[in-house]
Structure 1
């Protein structure tokens, strides 16, 4: 079958690979669509090997069930499903508590559980086998939109859901980075809360895409952006800052605008460094503020997100590529040409 495969440092190519064989507890999906994100770009661009050679990429997957292993009764053949990207054990104390994204048995202290397209074969192929336990039904959704929910949607949903008690009417949320995840974050904050939303990005085009959906937009690289955000937030600061970039500059900005007892969540992976100070005279955070590095989201998060998507309340810009154009999607995303999320649609 056709696939997009990692073949070593700086080598991601169209290839032909053997069709996957179904194993106990798994189902076989015919892939309908698969998203491409900055993680895929980082994997290809890295000067050192980040994932095993030969892995089929693609960690955002929507597909139809075509075969089930013995003993797997659901979902039904033909059903459209999306794939939760954290393949946890389901038995450890974290999994039992509903924190599959912190699985103790499959992952580790410094690395996550098995992830399709990262540690095992993913969805940039005609077929993929996945654990039945990782599937979430997605009936009624456009597969192209459904494909990006397990990452571009799930990451901001998990962060927002974790601080939902903070996001009361009258509070302020700041979202840094208006790519695919940032656009989802804006949609989710609008659908789930009544907060004031401030969107930040270095690109005016990215801000233009969400300007009609938020209360304020500011260019995050400007010299007075923290003052602009503080004024827009009423002078007290933001109750919630979602940093989807994670650079040293955005981390410093997050600390400069978060309110006392506010929450900073940083899914962004741009090699940033945050200086944590406890001096009485100089501090990186106000009293009570927290900063957390969340990973992906829980299985329940993805179920809830898909249910929300099925109501039609959320949407983002999608740029579609057919399978033969998949490597161009990598190039366009790396060049900053995509305003939203890139999705490869299987023919």
Structure 2
């Protein structure tokens, strides 16, 4: 079968012919229908030797949806032919957190040679992907694959970040989303669907603000010298109750800290390498709380799928055939993708 493989650190992935795997034990073989392309993939491709624990080569792709083609003799809970989305952050499978579907916070994560499907283990930028257990599969029924695949990271990570703030986002509150790309536009929709909060969107691109508007944001603004003032003005001067930063640069972290009201919460999702100095006393608002959400849980993925099937959230996608992966990667790297890039079989 064809697969897009990472064979050398810092080098572009290559198309290769590899043997189609056969499921054993509790494994499942999924015929891929769609695979999302993420900035995390760019980080993996550009990593220097030794920065990640992964062993080369491996197939990329951690946002995957498809149909079960075959099951090992010990597989349980699902049947051949079922359409599924893959829960991506595979943990050790043995600790208490993995046992309850919280592989994203696996107790042994630091000891593993992988972080999940397509991240050290063969992923979905191929015709088929082998899944070690059916517990990593969530049924999608009739949900289109190009909608389902991005839910496994872009949707799940956004949902998990919002869930951690939901207690602070009742009626009359406000939340700011910084960075309205593949994750941010879904965060806007999830905030609208699951909280009573007004949603304020921030980006450096006009087209991203248009995407925020289509996603249901109440207000959008470009990053300017007066952005903090513009956001505060929308809250009557008090400041926002929560910020979800999908960029994570020093500039966006400082903006977030500058618009939070006392007792406000900041969830840093983006991996932009920024720094925020925490000191007391200091410039941070009293009662400031910080979280660093990572991916999400398997039960949350099922909840995200349910939201998508109800029509409450919709992924804006650009589709590329798998053979055009280099073009999709280049466009993502240059910030030219609207919403989420999705690779589909040729």
TM range (shorter): over 0.9
Q: Judge conservation of contact 1:27–1:132 (CA < 8 Å) in 2.
A: yes
* Number of matched pairs: 341
Q: Decide which of 270, 273, 276 is 2:275's aligned counterpart.
A: 273
Secondary structure of 1:8's match? coil
SS in 1 for 2:274: coil
Contact 2:55–2:113 (CA<8 Å) still a contact in 1? no
**Relative to 1, partners in 2 of residues 1:52 and 1:234: Cα closer, same or farther, differing over 3 Å?**
farther
Of the three residues 59, 79, 83, the one matched with 2:82 is 79
Any gaps of 5 or more consecutive residues in structure 2?
none
Residues 322/98 of structure 1: CA separation in 2 closer, same or farther (3 Å cut): closer
Q: Hey, what does 2:334 align to over in structure 1?
A: 335
In 1: Cα distance, 2:210 partner to 2:113 partner: 35
* Structure 1 residues 225-262: Cα deviation after superposition (integer angstroms, max 9, x where no partner): 11111111221111110000011111111111112222
Inter-partner Cα distance in structure 2 for 1:112 and 1:156: 25
Partner of 1:12: 13
d(CA) in 2 for partners of 1:113, 1:264: 28
TM-score, structure 2 as length reference = 0.94
The Cα offsets for residues 143-199 of structure 1, whole Å up to 9 and x where unpaired, read as 011010000100110011122111101000100001010110011111112211100
Structure 1 residue runs without a partner (length 5+): none
Matched with 2:218 is 215
Q: What is the alpha-carbon distance in structure 2 between the residues aligned to residue 21 and residue 272 of structure 1?
A: 43
Q: 1:39 aligns to what?
A: 40
Distance 2:79 2:197 in 1: 40
How much has 1:97 moved relative to structure 2?
5.6
CA distance in 2 between counterparts of 1:84 and 1:47 reads: 27
Deviations 1:56-93 (A, max 9, x none): 00000001001111121331111110011111344423
User: What does 1:268-347 correspond to in 2, within 5 Å?
Assistant: 268-279=270-281, 283-347=282-346
Task: Trace 1:1-347 onto structure 2 (pairs within 5 A).
Answer: 1-9=1-9, 10-48=11-49, 50=52, 51-96=54-99, 99-105=102-108, 107-108=109-110, 114-130=115-131, 131-212=133-214, 213-220=216-223, 222-279=224-281, 283-347=282-346
Distance 2:97 2:289 in 1: 22
Q: Is the Cα–Cα contact under 8 Å of residues 26 and 76 in structure 2 kept in the other structure?
A: no
- Cα distance, 1:34 vs. partner? 0.3
**In 1, Cα distance between the equivalents of 2:153 and 2:316?**
15
